[in-house]
């Protein structure tokens, strides 16, 4: 496709910029959110979007799927949702043979809306799909369409009647992305664009084959030993009562991040560097992706809760 990785990286940086331009036709502001979702896609990871209702989480995911020309499925998670409603089930056809009826999981981009509204049994139906890119029904394995990404949303308010995601499933998400309210000028632009009759035409800027190629290109990017060591040391410092752990971690953290955080830090730093037109990541690229990778893998203790310390504050001290 390209004569060299350098040429491919130059093309990736240009295409990434084009993606951002197309998405900005529909999504006003939220630059960091869009960048982080795209980085997770090119790292072959999944993202958890946390924000109050009405911040265009669904619209953002739909817009990204349109610009990337990928299949899109939205699953509304409710307390009565069953695993078969996600992965599909076997039905008896006219000739009295069992036939597998595929569920909405068989798409490229899955929007798992309000994932914490459904019981753990149904939440776990996503685990195999997220890790193995396949589902198993009645002992038979069904591969999913590639590329495959899960973008789950959570509402940080109204926690009554919800089922918090278990740590094992939280760890499957590369990023935990926090959506905040738009600024006054951004909200003004949103209202202007959504209350008129003007329709926005989006251009498809990348194919699934190109996405797969760029995913492998990101993995091939070289990384200096000192940057690799910085990423791993950053993760090990989040673990309390270990050699080199700072006092803030020992005092306020109950559990730190696992090895998957180190892997995602390196991959995320590579992709962040590539989006900026660099051929190798540096420590600043690691820092740029540290918050969304670590915020859902580091758990505060009661002392931190009592003193009102946030995970962002504790991770920021490490950086």
Q: Is residue 77 part of a domain?
A: yes
Calculate mean pLDDT across residues 108-137.
84
Indicate the residue among 180, 208, 236 that finishes a domain: 208
Q: Is residue 187 part of a domain?
A: yes
Domain that holds residue 11: 5-191+204-208
Q: Half-sphere exposure of residue 210, counting CA atoms within 13 Å on the CB side?
A: 17
Indicate the residue among 208, 239, 263 that finishes a domain: 208
- Check residues 132 and 269 and name the one with the higher pLDDT: 269
**pLDDT for position 160:** 60
From residue 237, alpha-carbon distances to 250, 253, 269, 287, 319 in Å are 10, 11, 18, 14, 10
Residue among 120, 58, 126, 59 nearest 87 (CA): 126
- How does residue 229 score in pLDDT terms, banded at 50, 70 and 90? very high
- How does residue 257 score in pLDDT terms, banded at 50, 70 and 90? confident
CB distance 297 to 258 below 8 Å: yes
Average pLDDT, rounded, for the chain: 84
DSSP conformation class of 193: H
CB distance 175 to 293 below 8 Å: yes
Residue among 162, 134, 178, 183 nearest 295 (CA): 178
Is there a single domain that holds both residue 186 and residue 291? Answer: no
Structure tokens at 188: 């003004």
pLDDT in tens, 20-59: 888 888 887 778 888 899 999 999 889 988 877 777 777 8
- Quickly count: other Cβ atoms within 10 Å of residue 166's Cβ: 12
Highest mean pLDDT: which of 50-54, 198-202, 234-238?
234-238
Q: Which residue has the tokens 């308010």?
A: 157
Is there a single domain that holds both residue 40 and residue 158? Answer: yes
- How does residue 247 score in pLDDT terms, banded at 50, 70 and 90? confident
**pTM for the structure as a whole:** 0.87
Is there a single domain that holds both residue 171 and residue 260? Answer: no
Is the pLDDT confidence value at 285 over 70?
Answer: yes
Taking each helix axis from N to C terminus, what angle separates 283-294 and 225-236, rounded to the nearest 10 degrees?
A: 30
Is there a single domain that holds both residue 139 and residue 227? Answer: no
Q: Is residue 137 part of a domain?
A: yes
Is the pLDDT confidence value at 1 over 80?
Answer: no
Is the pLDDT confidence value at 202 over 80?
Answer: no
Report the CATH number that the domain containing residue 275 is assigned in CATH: 1.10.8.80
Q: Half-sphere exposure of residue 307, counting CA atoms within 13 Å on the CB side?
A: 14
Is there a single domain that holds both residue 163 and residue 23? Answer: yes
Q: Is residue 237 part of a domain?
A: yes
Q: Is residue 114 part of a domain?
A: yes
Q: Is residue 45 part of a domain?
A: yes
Is there a single domain that holds both residue 246 and residue 312? Answer: yes
**pLDDT for position 161:** 59
Highest mean pLDDT: which of 109-118, 135-144, 284-293?
284-293
- Quickly count: other Cβ atoms within 10 Å of residue 182's Cβ: 16
**If you write DSSP's letter for every residue of 10-33 in order, what string do you get?**
HHHHHHHHHHHHHHHTT--S-HHH
Indicate the residue among 149, 174, 208 that finishes a domain: 208
pLDDT in tens, 71-103: 888 888 888 888 888 888 877 777 777 778 888
């Amino acid at each position: 496709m390209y004569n060299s990785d350098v040429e491919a990286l130059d093309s990736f940086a240009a295409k990434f910029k084009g993606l951002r331009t197309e998405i900005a036709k529909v999504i006003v502001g939220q630059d960091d959110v869009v960048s982080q979702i795209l980085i997770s896609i090119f790292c072959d990871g999944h993202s958890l979007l946390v924000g109050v209702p009405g911040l265009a989480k669904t619209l953002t995911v739909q817009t990204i799927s349109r610009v990337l020309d990928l299949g899109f499925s939205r699953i509304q998670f409710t307390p009565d949702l069953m695993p078969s409603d996600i992965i599909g089930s076997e039905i008896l056809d006219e000739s009295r043979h069992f036939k597998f009826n595929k569920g909405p999981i068989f798409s490229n981009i899955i929007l798992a809306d309000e994932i914490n509204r459904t019981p753990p049994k149904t939440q776990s139906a996503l685990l195999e799909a997220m890790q193995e890119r396949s589902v198993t029904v009645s002992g038979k394995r069904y591969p999913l369409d590639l590329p495959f990404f899960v973008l789950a949303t959570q509402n940080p308010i109204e926690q009554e009647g919800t089922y918090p995601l278990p740590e094992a499933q939280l760890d499957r998400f590369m990023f935990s992305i926090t959506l905040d309210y738009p600024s006054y000028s951004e909200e003004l632009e949103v209202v202007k664009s959504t209350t008129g009759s003007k329709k926005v035409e989006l251009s498809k800027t990348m194919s699934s084959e190109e996405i797969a190629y760029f995913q492998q290109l990101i993995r091939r990017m070289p990384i200096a030993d000192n940057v690799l060591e910085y990423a791993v040391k950053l993760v090990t410092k989040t673990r309390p009562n270990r050699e080199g752990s700072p006092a803030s971690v020992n005092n306020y953290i109950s559990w730190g991040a696992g090895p998957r955080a180190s892997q995602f830090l390196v991959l995320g730093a590579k992709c962040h560097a590539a989006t900026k037109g660099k051929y190798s990541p540096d420590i600043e690229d690691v820092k740029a992706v540290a918050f969304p990778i670590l915020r859902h893998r580091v758990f505060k203790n009661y002392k931190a809760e009592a003193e009102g310390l946030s995970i962002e504050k504790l991770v920021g001290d490490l950086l």
